[in-house]
């Protein structure tokens, strides 16, 4: 099942904060976050593998609530370069040595104004 992202779109002024949410109706083993700029490939930001895990990447961080089957991406003090579409991707639990594909949400378009 495809994860649900919210909001669909956000417009911010440079320096403002944003939160993008991702939720799933099925149990999650992993949550990925990617950013895609127009006409380019998605670029990996981070992966979260355990419930309650938080990861940071410069001023971009994320949390993973395994019980609620949710993840949130936090962008603080946004910069113009943060503009793009953010996708979460979710994977279910698999046996060791076997792969599980990532299913991506529909994306959240983020536009940063100067």
State the binding string over 55-84 for other proteins (x if CB under 8 A, else -).
Answer: ------------------------------
Q: Considering the complex, what minimum distance in angstroms separates the CB of residue 15 from other proteins?
A: 27
Is residue 105 close enough to count as binding other proteins by CB under 8 A?
A: yes
CA-to-CA distance for 80 and 71, rounded, in angstroms?
Answer: 24
Identify the sign of the CA torsion 87, 93, 99, 101.
Answer: negative
Is residue 101 close enough to count as binding other proteins by CB under 8 A?
A: yes
State the binding string over 16-55 for other proteins (x if CB under 8 A, else -).
Answer: --------------x-x-x---x-xxxxxxxx-x------
Check if the beta carbon of residue 56 is closer than 8 Å to that of residue 76. Answer: no
Q: Considering the complex, what minimum distance in angstroms separates the CB of residue 38 from other proteins?
A: 7
Query: How does strand 9-13 pair with strand 108-113?
Result: parallel
CA-to-CA distance for 34 and 92, rounded, in angstroms?
Answer: 18
CA-to-CA distance for 19 and 67, rounded, in angstroms?
Answer: 19
Residues of the shown chain interacting with other proteins in the complex, contacts defined by CB under 8 A: 2, 30, 32, 34, 38, 40-47, 49, 85, 87, 89, 94, 98-107
């Amino acid at each position: 099942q495809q994860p649900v992202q919210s909001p669909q779109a956000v417009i911010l002024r440079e320096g403002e904060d944003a939160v993008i949410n991702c939720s799933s109706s099925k149990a999650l083993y992993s949550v990925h976050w990617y950013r895609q700029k127009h006409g380019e490939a998605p670029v990996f930001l981070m992966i979260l593998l355990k419930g309650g895990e938080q990861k940071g990447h410069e001023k971009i961080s994320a949390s993973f609530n395994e019980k609620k089957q949710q993840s949130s991406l936090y962008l603080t003090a946004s910069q113009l370069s943060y503009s793009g579409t953010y996708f979460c991707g979710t994977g279910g639990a698999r046996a060791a040595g076997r792969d599980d594909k990532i299913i991506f949400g529909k994306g959240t378009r983020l536009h940063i104004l100067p």
